[in-house]
Amino acid sequence: MKNNKTWHDKHIETLGFGSRLADSVAKGMGSWKFIIIQSVFVIVWMGLNLIGYMYHWDVYPFILLNLVFSTQAAYAAPIIMMSQNRQNERDRIQAQSDYQTNIEAKLEIEALTIKLDTIEIEKLDKIIKMLEEMKFNSNSTI
């Protein structure tokens, strides 16, 4: 049975747990779903702390919320950078694969061109031979 794995499939198989996790985190944090959930979280957090009569766990100016976001940013930035580095590596591998495919296609085209030239020359030689025979036959019948 033929192996139909693409370069992308092979690349994914080489990724470790941490790499796949970083890619998943970067993909999740770069989505509208994440932005909407985080916005709702912030609105609820601020709302509960502004209208809470008895217990404010994070009073204005929301220092704890700022600390949560700073911690999130401190971890998110390197994780996203790791994922981007892997994307650059994937792009480089794809470009190399495309380049190799182009080289192979060029060689096949050159071989076909040579074959077509050969066929064309053989065809022209046959036509010339036929014309010479026709000329010889017409001269001999006179």
- List pLDDT tens digits, range 71-92: 999 999 998 898 888 889 889 9
Going by C-alpha positions, the residue among 11, 41, 29 that lies closest to residue 78 is 29
Say whether pLDDT at 4 is over 60.
yes
Please calculate the CA angle 107-109-111 and round it to the nearest 5 degrees. 70
For the four alpha carbons of 83, 89, 95 and 101, in that order, the dihedral sign comes to: negative
**What angle, rounded to 10 degrees, do the helices at 63-140 and 17-29 form?**
100
Q: What is the pTM of this model?
A: 0.59
Looking at every residue in the chain, the average pLDDT score rounds to: 88
